[in-house]
Structure 1
């Protein structure tokens, strides 16, 4: 992952009886608190629906669910310490339980990012995901929302100009300094566009917004289904509002701290470990890929490719991205759902000639990271929100010397994948003060789902979070970020947990090809 893609990547009470997890007589909102201002839901073309990842044959089902979806906004204070001051709107959706007579309560879906939209998550992450997840909507209202700064909620845009080496090839200290200087200038410009708003883009502020959404919906408690950054949001919400938190299932658990330098270090170590699994898989198929008959030989071959393409990058006429060592390392960092294609692309690069990219290289590396939005499509990722939350909470904000030293160590220690990370200066020069939430141990029902081999949310972070705040670890034996609800066998465990409060030790997950 280059620095540019690193910036982009950065997107409970009682368990014995289901009614204790948030069943409510649906009381009205408290006096003086905003209610939901319900309105018509957006209309989407088939092209937009497909752009959301919905297959052609499921477009009619999506439209049917949109007819059931309720859409509205809740007014909240921009600064929760100044409830009488400036107000912003939080966009909210609800997919009411289909079995209202046996309704357990409401489950809020907490999106990833920071900066991802959750507005359509009741459909995309629950009702339409698979038959198992659809069962969650039988006895639970599913609540979606766009966090402040995202999508249909109040937001602000500032120019995002991530730094990056102008020339492909070996990343030098001089190029790193240019990256750093460019990022400092961009961050200072962004942070000055609307500091009153940007300074309130924190996980704690989003958690407080969510509690006002809960009140506006008339729910005594919210159950939480969190993904990636949404798991940290779930931790913060549970710490602030334990009395309002029902059951919580957090998938691909974040660490209980917010330091981007440590985040990158841990992730890089996990990525190289997982490449060891990929190397062993490729070695068993040496007749197909020709990268070596043992895992060490595959590692040596890929490390050699990284060095060779850094020394002599290739510019193909049909691929926007220069193919240098960072691009090779990016292929080595793919999870097991992509080992077949990544292995084929690595094999192609060993013998590539000509001015156009080999087919699999073009397939995996040819598309731009952020595609052109389809007209009328909802915003699914807001990079201003991503940057502001990450940097408002970053306890490191590494300077150039530390970031360059860390990068050099990554490349040395992780010869297959380390080159993909770039220098970690995402928050260099961010002008707003550091704000970090305080996590608290709770006694309510909490499941922390950790994936044994993934690098985006390192498995050890799940164990660290359990030590910090409690909960039960649910182990997914794969390397695929937030895959739990996508795999029917695992999704069945998730739904069973929300229905009964009981959870097993884990599931196999998905990803590893035969």
Structure 2
């Protein structure tokens, strides 16, 4: 689960001429696709591949084109119960295998969020080592996100995640914020909302598989992408080949309260970061001990509750400071920790009522949290989560939950257990959650200090998928270590060996931290 729009990826610099010739203009239908239910025409559709750039400011499309990828739109029904009714377009990209003589197959990618994934193929090819050139890599924007039937509710923020803050007044402010976000979506996209769900995204994914002419596809999913992959495997058994699930969601706890229970992991990660920052007190001035750094964080949160901090062009109150901390605790490598230390240093200046100018990273983060320029990100993300599972409707139940956990986790409990737009979402889910299960010989990756999908979540999914194997990365506070490109040769080597050979480890494995 991510709150920030910034993926830990970068478009690889492959040339367009190297791969363009290997992408055919059309793809044939998958052999043996059933026409039952009126869906045959979707599975048998021909795809027209084209350049990915949509305009002069389209950096994602330009990066895909430069890497040699091509893009296509796949037609799917808005409502799978009425395949003859309204249709929508699902946007995909394909980076064709450059080693055609040893091509393994097609792999669908999802990087979590829920968020767009069309940009992923060039970056993932680079991560996959020798296996990368042997796959056709498919990035698919899930319905409601990116280029796929986008939902944009006109939000004043790009995300629905806010802390309930320090006081009853700030909690009431968070309730009004969540209610307003839901109302905006009901007004602007009410007709589409009932059909946005992970189950329908899984159905879209199977249509993509058929339209690509594949009996099976491989799959590489991180965070929310593990839930999508598990739902797809359950709904369409036998259609996944080599499967990687990186930092897994427990499907039994998926829904509007998905962050509840992550407090301990975030508190531990914050304490580990504080110890790191204390060793660099000369650089950041946050304190010479872990306790002093944590006290500085606490003082900043308190100050932001009294009055919003003036941070350059932004005003940052106690609903936002914890979100910034939460966002920056997804990676414990030095570069990521330095970004958090600089952010806290700037917040400290603002709390002391001194001039505080954010650097590039913090300025972009605060703009994402407070500007409406990218409201479509949070709009689509919330549409999926709220469309999957119902939320508690009584705001007071959230207040009571926060109060029960505030003493144990004063910074994060008001964030992870706060109210969100799903509490006010129009209507309810059209289908129950998928009961994930069944044999799936997947390779799973999990870090013991994951702050988003905590280690217990990965273990839970592992138990639901007989035949899976899990690689545990010990002692790392990192989310989605494989897809993030986290520096650990053990994890990367094991995953890439599996993708290359198709052979799972004989047993679960443990990887030690890498200095």
- How many angstroms does 1:292 deviate by? 4.6
Partner Cα separation in structure 2 for residue 359 and residue 74 of structure 1? 42
CA contact (8 A) 2:443 2:504 kept: no
Q: 1:472: which partner in 2? A: 469
CA contact (8 A) 2:97 2:133 kept: yes
Whole-angstrom CA distance in 1 between matches of 2:133 and 2:221: 19
> Using a 3 Å threshold, how does the CA distance of structure 1 residues 296 and 496 change in structure 2: closer, same or farther?
same
Within-5 A mapping of 1:96-175: 96-114=96-114, 116-123=115-122, 125-127=123-125, 130=126, 132-133=127-128, 135-160=130-155, 171-175=166-170
Q: 1:343 maps to which residue?
A: 341
Structure 2 length-normalised TM: 0.78
Distance 1:297 1:224, change over 3 A: same
Match of 2:448 in 1: 452
**Partner-residue secondary structure (3-state), 2:48:** strand
Whole-Å separation in 2 of the counterparts to 1:359 and 1:183: 27
Match of 2:231 in 1: 236
CA 1:199 to 1:351, structure 2 compared with 1: closer, same or farther past 3 Å? closer
Task: Output the CA distance in 2 between the equivalents of 1:158 and 1:428.
Answer: 16
Cα distance in structure 2, aligned partners of 1:244 and 1:216:
14
SS in 1 for 2:276: helix
Report the alpha carbon displacement of residue 329 of structure 1 after superposing the two structures with TM.
Answer: 7.3
Tell me the equivalent position of 1:225. Answer: 220
Residue-by-residue CA offset, 1:71-98 (whole Å, 9 max, x unaligned): 2222222222222332222222222222
Q: Does the aligned pair in 1 maintain the 2:259–2:452 contact within 8 Å? A: no
Going from structure 1 to structure 2, the CA distance change for 1:187 and 1:102 (only over 3 Å counts) comes to same
Partners of 1:141 and 1:355 in 2: CA distance: 53
Q: Which residue in the other structure is 1:334 paired with?
A: 328
Partners in 2 of 1:351 and 1:321 — Cα distance?
13
Tell me if 1:207 matches 2:202.
Answer: yes
Counterpart in the other structure of 1:65: 67
Q: Which moves more between the two structures, 168-177 or 455-464?
A: 168-177
Residue aligned with 1:227, SS: strand
Q: 1:414 to 1:161 in 2, by over 3 A?
A: same
Q: Which has the higher contact order (CA 8 A, sep 6+)?
A: 1
**Shift of residue 164, structure 1, vs aligned partner:** 11
1:386-401 equivalence runs, <5 A? 386-401=381-396
Count matched residues. Answer: 472
- The 5 A counterparts of 1:305-324 are 305-316=300-311, 318-322=312-316, 324=318
Structure 1 unmatched ranges of 5 or more: 12-24
Residues 92/348 of structure 1: CA separation in 2 closer, same or farther (3 Å cut): closer
> By how many angstroms is 1:359 displaced?
5.6
1:18 is matched with none
Please list, as runs of the form range in 1=range in 2, the aligned pairs for 1:352-363 lying within 5 A after superposition: 353=352, 356-357=355-356, 363=362
- For the pair 1:437 / 2:433, whether they are aligned, the reply is yes
Q: CA deviation at 1:455?
A: 1.4
Check whether the contact 1:326–1:420 (CA below 8 A) recurs between aligned residues: no
Unaligned runs of 5+ in 2: 9-27
The correspondence of residues 245-284 of structure 1 with structure 2, limited to 5 A, is: 245-260=240-255, 262-284=257-279
Counterpart Cα distance in 2 of 1:222 and 1:269? 37
Matches within 5 A, 1:357-436: 357=356, 363=362, 367-369=366-368, 382-418=377-413, 423-434=418-429, 435-436=431-432
The equivalent of 1:14 in structure 2 is: none
Kept in 1, the 8 Å contact 2:304–2:316? The answer is no
Verify: 1:43 aligned to 2:53, yes or no. yes
**C-alpha contact (below 8 Å) 2:156/2:371 kept by paired residues:** no
Q: Corresponding residue for 1:19? A: none
Write the distance in 1 (CA, Å) between the matches of 2:382 and 2:284.
39
Preserved contact between residue 448 and residue 455 of structure 2 (Cα < 8 Å): yes
Query: 8 Å contact 2:154–2:372 — kept in the other structure?
Result: no
Aligned partner of residue 390 in structure 1, secondary structure? helix
